[in-house]
């Protein structure tokens, strides 16, 4: 009986692991096929890549707690899921970039740097795979997020969307072309959409709040603040803050915070 249970558990874990690879591919594919990310992998300063990877670890650990690619929970299991998801991210990124022939083999540090930048979003996808690639029956008994947990999930979604767009030249061009009034319009639109998508659109999984004003003060404004923080962090990692005056920096952050706000809203609906 015990052997049968062990075998069933092994089969379930293999299934979960396969789903994690699917989620890693799904979430990382846009970045894996982005030319700027190939270049930044070896052009970005080593200390920025290190900060990027170290900052990803608590983010992934939190996602392992609230989502996770397996049904196991607890401190040790969350830590194991985090490390396995990161390994899945590295394997997925290395394999696809090798197939695409975009790795720089001139030095080991260049190739490792390229894969490292891609591994974090792939690992995020691996951890979200169970929620997004499984049937509803797998979701029974999932952890419900507290208020800090809800804000954490918003930050995770904001970081993922900002991560996908911060390296691209298009984001910097939009910020360069934006007038002060246009940047203000983007800011206001970001806040409105963040609030409407989560609290007013009627999507499954939306947060129930006592009043729209309470929801706006408790979630929307703090959530948008996290979007600004996530945008600034991703711009710094990818060199988007270098050589800018205050006005240009604010424009870049506000423009990137627009997709980050959509990501924050989506994370609370989907994770």
Q: What is the pLDDT of residues 202-225, one digit of tens each?
A: 555 555 555 778 888 888 899 999
Residue 87 above 90 pLDDT? yes
What count of other Cβ atoms lies within 10 Å of the Cβ of residue 74?
A: 9
Residue 76 above 80 pLDDT? yes
Residue 137 banded pLDDT, cuts 50, 70, 90:
very low
Please give the backbone phi and psi of residue 247, each rounded to the nearest 5 degrees, phi first: -65, -45
Q: In angstroms, how far apart are the furthest CA atoms of the chain?
A: 69
Mean pLDDT over the full length of the chain: 83
Which position has the higher pLDDT, 141 or 229? 229
Asked whether the CA dihedral 17, 18, 23, 24 is positive or negative, the reply is: positive
Calculate the alpha carbon distances from 42 to 29, 37, 156, 165, 184 in Å.
Answer: 19, 9, 25, 18, 35
pLDDT digits (tens, 9 = 90+) for 2-52: 655 556 656 777 888 888 898 899 888 888 988 888 888 878 888 888 899
Which position has the higher pLDDT, 144 or 66? 66
Calculate the alpha carbon distances from 172 to 61, 81, 182, 214, 236 in Å.
Answer: 31, 36, 14, 35, 13
Which position has the higher pLDDT, 204 or 130? 130
Check if the beta carbon of residue 168 is closer than 8 Å to that of residue 239: no
Asked whether the CA dihedral 55, 61, 66, 71 is positive or negative, the reply is: positive
Tell me, what's the pLDDT at 108?
Answer: 79
Q: What is the pTM of this model?
A: 0.83
Residue 131 above 70 pLDDT? no
Percent of the chain with pLDDT over 70: 83
Tell me, what's the pLDDT at 92?
Answer: 94
Residue 260 above 90 pLDDT? yes
* Average pLDDT of span 167-190: 93
Round to whole Å and give the CA distance between 18 and 134.
11
């Amino acid at each position: 009986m015990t052997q049968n249970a062990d075998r069933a558990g092994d089969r379930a874990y293999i299934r979960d692991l396969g789903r994690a690879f699917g989620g890693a591919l799904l979430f990382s594919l846009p970045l894996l096929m982005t030319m700027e990310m190939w270049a930044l992998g070896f052009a970005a300063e080593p200390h920025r890549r290190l900060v990027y990877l170290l900052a990803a670890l608590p983010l992934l650990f939190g996602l392992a707690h609230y989502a996770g690619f397996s049904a196991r929970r607890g401190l040790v299991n969350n830590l194991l899921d985090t490390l396995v998801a990161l390994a899945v991210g590295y394997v997925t990124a290395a394999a696809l970039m090798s197939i695409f022939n975009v790795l720089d083999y001139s030095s080991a540090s260049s190739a490792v740097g390229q894969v490292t930048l891609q591994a974090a979003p792939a690992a995020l996808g691996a951890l979200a795979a169970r929620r997004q690639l499984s049937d509803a029956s797998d979701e029974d008994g999932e952890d419900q997020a507290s208020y800090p947990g809800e804000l954490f999930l918003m930050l995770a979604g904001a970081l993922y969307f900002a991560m996908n767009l911060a390296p691209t030249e298009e984001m910097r061009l939009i910020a360069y072309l934006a007038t002060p009034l246009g940047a203000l319009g983007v800011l206001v639109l970001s806040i409105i959409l963040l609030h409407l998508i989560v609290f007013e659109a009627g999507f499954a999984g939306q947060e129930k709040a006592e009043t729209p004003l309470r929801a706006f003060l408790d979630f929307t404004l703090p959530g948008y603040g996290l979007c600004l923080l996530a945008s600034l962090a991703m711009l710094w990692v990818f060199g988007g803050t270098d050589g800018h005056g205050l006005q240009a920096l604010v424009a870049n952050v506000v423009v990137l915070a627009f997709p980050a706000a959509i990501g924050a809203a989506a994370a609370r609906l989907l994770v």
